[in-house]
Amino acid sequence: MSDAPKPLELVYRSVDGLDLSLDVFLPESATQTSKVPVLIWWHGGGLLQGTRKGSRLCQYGISPHHLSAPAKHKLCVVSPDYRLAPQTRLPGILSDCASAMDFVRSPAFAQATGNRVDASKMVVSGSSAGGWLSLLAGTGIGYAACGLDLPAPVSGIAALYPISDLADPFWTTKQHPVSYMPRVIPDEEVAPFIDPAADKVGFSAVDSKRSIFYHYMVQEGILESLLLDGTGVPASAVGVAPALKTGKFTPPPTYIIHGDIDDKVPCGQARDVVAALKELNADFEYEELPGVNHLFDKDPEEKMEKMYAFVARVTK
C-alpha cells in the first residue's frame, strides 16, 4: 500500500534473554506536541507458529487495514514477535506480551520513536491466538496463575476472532482429517517442531514447514498439552469467560469481532466471552459477521472501521 509507512524495527528481550523484534508503524503527522495512541497487535498461529514478518498476502505480516491505520487513524501500530510453544510454554509467552507492553512504555521506546507516541493510551489487540493474548494481557487473566506480575492497565482490548478457552471440545477432540484439510498430517511431518526440548524460537516464516503445526494441533486435539504441559497451570486459569465470571477481573473497554462460519477458531469462543462481559455490565462492543471465515481482515477491502472507531473512543 502506497500510504503505508516503513516500519521501525526495534528489539526487546524475553525474561530468559532471547532477543525478540517488533515493528513500529508511526504516522508522519505524529510530533512531540501531537502524540498518537498505540495499538499493539499480536499475530496468530495457535501460539505455535507465525511471525510479524510478511508473506505474499500481507506486507510485513500485518493486515492491509493495519498498514493504513497510522495515516488514516493517527495511530501508532506495534507488531511484536513472541516465543512459540511448545519450546516456550504459555507462561513464557504471556511474559513476552508483558515485556513488549513494558518496552513500548519505556524511555528507550520513546527515544527511538522521537517521543511522538502517547504510550499511556494503549490498546492491546491481536488476531486468533493473538486475540487471546490481547484478552489475557488486557485483563490480567492467567498472569497470577503463571507466576507473573499483572501487566499495567490498558485503555482497551480489540480481539479479532480470538481463541479464548482451551476447554472447548474443538481443542480437545481429534479430527482425522480436520474439516478443512484434505489429508491426515503424519506425526513425522511435525516432529522437528513438537519437541519441547528443541531450540526456542521467536517466530516462524509464514511459508516454512512449521506452518502445518496449527492444523496438526487441531487434528490431534492437543493445544492444552502443547501450551501447558509441565507448568502446573490448569487450562481453566487461562479461560477468559470462566475467569471473568469469577468477578475477580475488571476488563477495560473491549471490542471483539468474529465470523460465524470460522472453521479455524469456533465463533463460540467469542460468544462465550461476550456473554461473560454482558453479565458484568462491562463496556464492550461485539460484531459477529454472517458467512465470514477466519482471517477475513486480510482482505484489502476490509477497513475494520468499527474497530478503529472503538480505538479512537477509548484513547481520547
Dihedral sign (CA 51, 55, 59, 64): negative
Phi first, then psi, for residue 259 (nearest 5°) are -85, 140
Please list the residues that pair with 11 across neighbouring strands: 21
pLDDT in tens, the chain (316 residues): 444 568 999 999 998 888 999 999 999 999 999 999 999 999 999 999 999 986 554 556 799 999 999 999 999 999 999 999 999 999 999 999 999 999 999 999 999 999 999 999 999 999 999 999 999 999 999 999 999 999 999 999 999 999 999 999 999 999 999 999 999 999 999 999 999 999 999 999 888 999 999 999 999 999 999 999 999 999 999 999 999 999 999 999 999 999 999 999 999 999 999 999 999 999 999 999 999 999 999 999 999 999 999 999 999 9
Place of cell 503424519: 186
Q: DSSP 3-state assignment of 309?
A: helix
Strands (E), the chain: 8-13, 19-25, 36-42, 76-80, 117-127, 156-160, 254-259, 284-289
What domains are defined for the chain? 8-170+214-314 (3.40.50.1820)
Q: What are phi and psi of 206, to 5 degrees?
A: -60, -35
Dihedral sign from CA coordinates of 62, 63, 64, 65: negative
- Distances in Å between the alpha carbon of 5 and those of 61, 69, 71? 14, 10, 8
Q: What are phi and psi of 77, to 5 degrees?
A: -105, 125
List the one residue out of 133, 125, 123, 131 whose CA is nearest residue 161: 131
